[in-house]
Amino acid sequence: MGLQSVNVRLKDTTTGANPVVGVILRFYDTLDSFVVQAVTDVNGLGNVLLDGTTVPGTTYRVRAYKPGCEFAGPWEIQVEDPPVTGPHPNDWTMSVNVFEVPNATDPSMCRVAGYVIDPSGNPIYKSYFKFLAIYDQVNKDGIIPVNYGRFVGDWVYAEADEKGYFQIDLPRGGKFSVEAGSFQFMNRKIVVPDRGGILLADLVFPIPASVVYDPVGPFVVSIAGGPITLTPQVIGSDYADWGFGSPYVAYSSDNTSILEAGLSGGKIVLTGKAVGSANLVAARTSDAFRVVPSRPFVGSMAPVTVIP
């Protein structure tokens, strides 16, 4: 008895059943607590080690995430220990319908696209979004950039079709006030990223997506040498630079008896308390939008070694 090797393969729903590469697979228990994750390889395979039990096995939920894509799920699997069911126990192949954001055909535009659904997973027919340009910047001649011309004085309006699908092209770098009619007329301010396409939810309801540190880890802190400082850089799901992420990201130590971590003036201060190992943890705060299913915060855990 012990940890079991578990394989999950992702294939798309095209005729060729192509492997879906670079997808983060996250495994949760039945209480929805995160257990482990893997990234699918060139064959669409993600492999992890999980505890199992005798048939019918221990139940886990699997969620998939890849920037710029949407997946159904979660899926449930039963991990057997010992593995006995079928010719390939503890091995699953998932057929997934991948929605990848299309790119705008005009290189000056960014295509905003996605599906608008209710909590039951049903499409919200004719859910609408309206965009009003914010003219807080002009060029050196005092003239509004020409690619804003189509928006002057008017709302740009688009709505979801009968399948809940929404799509609109907006100028890259454009700033807009967004009214979301299907979300109790929530009003948001956005900046369109300099890229061919982005998910609607990632632009209108962005969350912290990744964090990197300067200098990069892993880190070593000397008790005698005193604290060290790091500069975090948070990138949002809207591809914008969020600086150190406040108030949407909190930084802490997962073992305060060994390491203390705090934020001061946009810098992370790491202080050694006792010899050993701990992790610097970055976590989204309650001020950030909650996304269901949960999405990984890339780079959110960094190892720290404390020496005398």
What are the structural domain ranges in the chain? 4-99, 109-204, 209-307
For residue 207, give every residue at least 6 positions away whose Cβ sits within 8 Å of its Cβ, in sequence order, or none.
236, 237, 248, 284, 288, 289, 291, 295
| pLDDT number for residue 306 | 95
| pLDDT number for residue 280 | 94
Tell whether pTM > 0.95: no
**Three-state SS at 204:** helix
In this structure, which topology does domain 109-204 adopt according to CATH? Immunoglobulin-like (2.60.40)
- CATH 3.40.50.1220, applies to 209-307: no
Q: How crowded is the C-beta side of 103, counted as CA atoms within 13 Å?
A: 7
Q: Extract the residue ranges of the chain whose pLDDT is less than 70.
A: 1, 14-15, 67-70, 72-73, 119-121, 135-155, 182-186, 292-293
Cα 189 from Cα 272, distance rounded (Å): 41
| pLDDT number for residue 185 | 58
Choose the CATH number for 4-99 among 3.40.50.970, 2.60.40.10, 3.40.50.300, 2.60.120.260.
2.60.40.10
| pLDDT number for residue 139 | 46
| pLDDT number for residue 88 | 83
- Please tell me if the domain spanning 4-99 has the same topology as the one spanning 209-307: yes
| pLDDT number for residue 293 | 63
Closest of 245, 90, 102 to residue 165, by C-alpha? 102
